[in-house]
């Protein structure tokens, strides 16, 4: 019995298969593949470069200082009543003189006081049923405006002048308005300190990512808040409290830094 053996061809190796594929590939495909790979690499480099160039961090810096007012505005209004305009004016004069004497006794110089224009108001009293005029009353008002750099002197006088009301003098007392006259200079200094605070915050943030901080690309000046000491009240358009001699001034800056 004769047994015939048939040889089975071995499958082509991986190298032979790839060679066969390369041989069957049209001539233009190879350059296209090479060009595509080049564009992918170049695109990756370009995107990376743009992202690094535009990396920024925006932080808010603030600076707060306690300052003392150096100017005070204060107004006191004396009034007198009468059945006629003339009588109201005459009844006003003794109370006005007494009030001016009080200010002199409080050591406020006459050069720091000013009388405003006298105002008179007529009040017609009518019968509630018939509407007929029954009488007329007049009120004369004289305001005394005080402006001084001696804020402590004004504070003491404003606290004591209410004693005149106990003497029967008709007064309308406005609280003094305490302001700071060098605010323009202070703002420049406060903005500089707020910007420095923003840089420190940006450095702390960038350091967590292993980066550094470069130049400023944008800066937005926020509102100034001038408040009573230790106040948390903030106004969206800024605030300026004039009720206290000592006050806190806060400057806010939004600063954008380039990340290196």
**pLDDT for position 26:** 47
Q: Domain limits of the chain? A: 57-68+182-259, 71-179
Instruction: Please enumerate in sequence order all residues whose Cβ is within 8 A of that of 185, keeping only pairs 6 or more positions apart, or say none.
Output: none
Q: Both tokens of residue 198?
A: 């923003």
CB 59 within 8 A of CB 255: yes
Q: Report the pLDDT value the prediction gives residue 54, as an integer from 0 to 100.
A: 65
Q: Answer whether 158's CB lies under 8 Å from 74's CB.
A: yes
- Residues near 235 by Cβ (< 8 Å), separated by ≥ 6? 223, 225
Q: Confirm if 219 and 251 have CB atoms less than 8 A apart.
A: no
Confidence at residue 132, expressed as pLDDT on a 0 to 100 scale = 87
- Please state, rounded to an integer, the average pLDDT across all residues of the chain: 82
Other C-beta atoms lying within 10 Å of the C-beta of residue 251: 25
Could you give the C-alpha distances from 34 to 24, 125, 131, in angstroms and in order? 17, 103, 104
The whole-number pLDDT of residue 4 equals 40
Architecture field, domain 71-179: 2-Layer Sandwich (3.30)
Write the Ramachandran bin of 238: left for phi over 0, alpha for psi from -120 to 50, otherwise beta.
left
pLDDT at 42: 33
Distance CA 196, CA 194 (A): 5
pLDDT value, residue 162: 94
Residue 124 and residue 70 in contact, taking contact as beta carbons nearer than 8 Å:
no
Q: Which fold has domain 57-68+182-259?
A: Translation Initiation Factor IF3 (3.30.110)
Q: What is the CB neighbour count within 10 angstroms for residue 20? A: 11
User: In the prediction, which pLDDT does 24 show?
Assistant: 46
Which stretches of the chain drop beneath a pLDDT of 70?
A: 1-54
For residue 56, the SS3 value is strand
């Amino acid at each position: 019995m004769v047994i015939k053996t048939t040889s089975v061809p071995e499958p082509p190796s991986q190298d032979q298969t790839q060679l066969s594929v390369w041989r069957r590939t049209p001539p233009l495909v190879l350059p296209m593949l090479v060009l595509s790979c080049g564009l992918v690499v170049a695109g990756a480099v370009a995107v990376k470069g743009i992202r690094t160039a535009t990396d920024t961090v925006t932080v808010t810096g603030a600076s707060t200082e306690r300052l003392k007012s150096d100017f005070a505005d204060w107004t006191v209004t004396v009034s007198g009543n009468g059945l006629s305009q003339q009588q109201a004016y005459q009844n006003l004069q003794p109370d006005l003189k007494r009030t001016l004497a009080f200010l002199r006794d409080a050591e406020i110089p006459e050069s720091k006081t000013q009388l405003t224009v006298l105002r008179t108001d007529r009040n017609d009293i009518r019968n509630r049923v018939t509407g007929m005029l029954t009488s007329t009353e007049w009120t004369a008002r004289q305001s005394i405006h005080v402006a001084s750099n001696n804020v402590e002197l004004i504070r003491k006088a404003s606290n004591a002048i209410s004693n005149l009301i106990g003497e029967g003098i008709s007064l309308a007392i406005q609280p003094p308005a305490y302001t700071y006259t060098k605010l323009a200079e202070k703002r420049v200094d406060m903005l500089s300190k707020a910007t420095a605070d923003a840089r420190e915050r940006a450095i702390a943030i960038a350091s967590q990512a292993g980066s550094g901080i470069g130049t400023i690309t944008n800066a937005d000046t926020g509102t100034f808040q001038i408040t009573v000491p230790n106040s948390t009240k903030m106004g969206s358009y800024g605030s300026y409290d004039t009720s206290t001699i000592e006050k806190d001034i806060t400057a806010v800056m939004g600063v954008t830094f380039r990340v290196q």
